[in-house]
Amino acid sequence: MVNGAVDAVNALCDHPEIAAVSFVGSSNIAELVYQRCRALNKRCLALGGAKNHLVALNDCDHEAAARDIAASAFGCAGQRCMAASVLLLVGDTGDLLDRVVAKAQALELGTESGKVGAIIDQRSRDKMHGYVDRAAESGAKILVDGRPGAARSPGYWFGPTVMVFTDKTQECLHDEIFGPVLSVLRVSSWEEAIEIENNNPYGNAASIYTSVGANAEWFCDRFRAGMLGVNIGVPVPREPFAFGGMYGTRSKFGDMDITGDGALEFFTDRRKITTRYGAPQQAVAMENGNGHANGHADHANFVGRM
């Protein structure tokens, strides 16, 4: 393990004996790492930020969806790249939001299993606090307020937060807050939900909650993200499928993916070997003898068999 900041990163990117660099961090730094490596003709995979959208239809299982939404948004204190940060409710979704709120309110801060853990540092806590403060000032409805949790010590903490917006331009719906903060927006149609998801600059993950397969297929065909979920709020793909965002977005710069078959391609070199040998004498004899050698049938030869 190498500790350091800019100098350490630049040294890793520039060292002639390092053939490839993989990175996970903010989009701005990911882009800088990618550009530095590519200038040296060095292989690079730099994964950036995310703004993962969940879309919920009324036909979903409300209890299962609420449980999964809360786990996605507040698990790991929301400080993971697969955490949900925006919930789009299409039309009348009944008591779904009430269920999400109840589960958020039931969560406790702490280090024990099933509790919402600490966040990484004071800067991160202050950032979350600022977003929620400005949202409240702009007229957002704060259904669950995590700001009182920021007073907990030692360490840095922020409680689960659920906010409902009516203004689609509000910063919480677009910026990566990277904490246990879920921003909710009601939309009138599937097309509006897709337009909002597609217009965000990231392309990491997106999920649809529905009990109808055709509905799920419609959304998955249109989401602009590299990892998609159906009734799964943390859609981490399992091997052999690879982990990574979509090309051309702020979530991924560079080549391939970081796990699965993408990782095999990234961390190894595919080499192609073209060969030619003369036919072995036994094979010639068997071909001339109609598949028999020394009077015995060649049962190991599967050429032409079904």
Nearest partner of 225 among 237, 213, 214, judged by Cα = 237
Tell how strand 205-209 and strand 52-56 pair up: parallel
The radius of gyration of the chain's CA atoms, rounded to the nearest angstrom, is 26
Question: Is-contact 243 251, C-beta < 8 A?
Answer: no
Burial 243-265 (b: 16+ CB within 10 A, else e): bbbbeebbbbbbbbbbbbebbee
What is the token pair recorded at 71? 């786990």
The CA distance from 98 to 144, in Å, is 11
Provide the H-helix boundaries in 115-210.
122-137, 190-198
Residue 90: phi and psi, rounded to 5, are: -90, 115
- Amino acid making up residue 134: R
Judge residue 127's burial from the number of C-beta atoms within 10 Å of its C-beta, 0-12 exposed, 13-18 middle, 19 or more buried: middle
What is the secondary structure of 231-253 as a DSSP string?
S-SS-PPPTTSPP---TTSTTEE
> Which secondary structure element, helix H or strand E, spans residue 29, and what is its range?
helix 27-39
User: What is the Cα–Cα distance from 212 to 231, expressed in whole angstroms?
Assistant: 11
Residue 81 is among the residues annotated as catalytic for this protein: yes
Among the listed residues 13, 81, 172, 220, the single catalytic one is 81
Alpha-carbon 78 to chain mean position:
13
Q: Using an 8 Å Cβ cutoff, are 140 and 146 in contact?
A: no
Q: Put the strands of the sheet holding 252-254 in their side by side order.
A: 20-24, 43-47, 252-254
- Catalytic positions are 81
